[in-house]
A = this chain, B = another copy of it.
Amino acid sequence: MQLAYMQEYKSGEVFVGRGQHLLKQNTTTDHLYTVLGGVMLRYRTLDDGRRQIVNFLFPGDLIGLQSAFDDEVCHSVEALVDSRLCRFEKQDFHDLIVKHPSLGFDITWLAAKEETALESHLVSLGQRSAKERVTYLAVWLLNRASATGMLEDDNRLTLPIKQAQIADMLGLSLVHTNRTLKALSREGLVDWKPGRIRIADIDKAAKYAEVPRYSKNDRPFI
């Protein structure tokens, strides 16, 4: 646990209320963040207003790694629920990695995991049908949430995700997302009511959406 090092570099805590933004696309930032609590989402907007949610962020996730090497951030980050973050100065980043290499190792670990997640999302968008995508997302969210102890019981997650957000994550229209949710609910595969996801048979759902086996490796928490 690198908490000691981290304290040294931590430059403050940040609270972001539900619906508020931490970062806006095409701006610059001097900070890196780590999610301490809450859930956030990261998205990119095109000029004509189309929006793609790239990923959800859970406690332990790193925000702004890309911006550590590049001036402008190419996505916005918004809180899905009230969230708490740990802030670092970007300029300390090189120093930090060099002085605490095992922390550099953990950061690389997180970056690799994030890449794996994006890869999975990419496969979903590229190859799966609407029903498969929704199921995939539901299972994936339950897995991530479960890893941070956010589940009420084994197959239920309370999280105020709007259908418009599901649509923007999965590359579907809002209307079709709605119909797909209904269909999955009717079939008993995924029961995603406003604000609450429930999956009766998670193995069945995971198999249907071919969600990659959930890695139990402990995620470093920095």
Q: Which residues of A contact B (CB under 8 A)?
A: 44, 46-47, 50-52, 54, 65-66, 68-70, 74-75, 94, 97-99, 101-102, 104-105, 107-109, 111-116, 118-119, 121-123, 125-128, 168-171, 210, 212, 215, 217
Contacts and interface: CB of A to CB of B under 8 A. Distances in A.
A59 B125 CA distance: 27
A105 B94 contact: yes
A115 B114 contact: yes
Nearest to A210: B46
Contacts of A66: 112-113, 115-116
Given A66-B115, A114-B115, 9 more contacts: A50-B128, A52-B122, A69-B109, A69-B217, A94-B105, A97-B105, A101-B104, A111-B111, A122-B125
30 contacts: A44-B119, A46-B123, A46-B210, A52-B127, A54-B119, A54-B122, A54-B123, A65-B111, A65-B115, A66-B112, A66-B113, A66-B116, A68-B108, A69-B109, A69-B112, A70-B112, A70-B215, A75-B119, A94-B102, A97-B101, A98-B102, A101-B101, A101-B104, A104-B105, A108-B108, A111-B112, A125-B125, A125-B126, A126-B169, A126-B170
Give 8 closest A-B pairs by Cβ, nearest first: A126-B171, A104-B104, A111-B111, A125-B125, A98-B101, A118-B118, A52-B126, A50-B127
